[in-house]
Amino acid sequence: GAYDYEDSTLSASQTPFILNLETWFVSDKMFVPIHRLFVVVQAADSLLKLVSELKQIAIFPGFASLDDHVDRNFAESTNRKLSRIGEEVAESHYYSSVSPHEASE
C-alpha cells in the first residue's frame, strides 16, 4: 500500500518506493537517510496541516465579527424603518380622525 501520511509509523509495506528492504537496500546505512527523508516529509505534512488550521482559526473569528457588524447594521436599519412607518401611521391616523373643522383651528 501507499504511505499513509496520517499514520505515524513507517514500514516497508507502507512506502510506495520500498517494496522489499532486502531488494532495495544494499546495506543498513542506506535505510537511515531514506527513513529520515520519510520522517521529514511526514513532519512537513503535519506542519502544513497545522498552518492550515491556524489560518482557519485566524480567519473565522474575522467572519464572526463581520457577521455581528452586518447583524447590527441590519437591526439598526430595521428599527429606523419601523420607527418611520410608526410615525407615518400615527400621523395618518391623527389626520383621519380629526374633522376638517378641528384641523383648521
* pTM metric for this prediction: 0.38
Residue 102 confidence (pLDDT): 62
Task: Report how far apart, in Å, the C-alpha atoms of 94 and of each of 39, 90, 105 are.
Answer: 82, 6, 15
For residue 38, how many other CB atoms are within 10 A of its CB? Answer: 16
- Where are the domains positioned within the chain? 12-104
What is the predicted pLDDT for the residue at 16?
47
13-68 pLDDT, tens digit each: 444 444 455 445 555 566 667 778 888 889 999 999 998 888 887 777 677 777 78
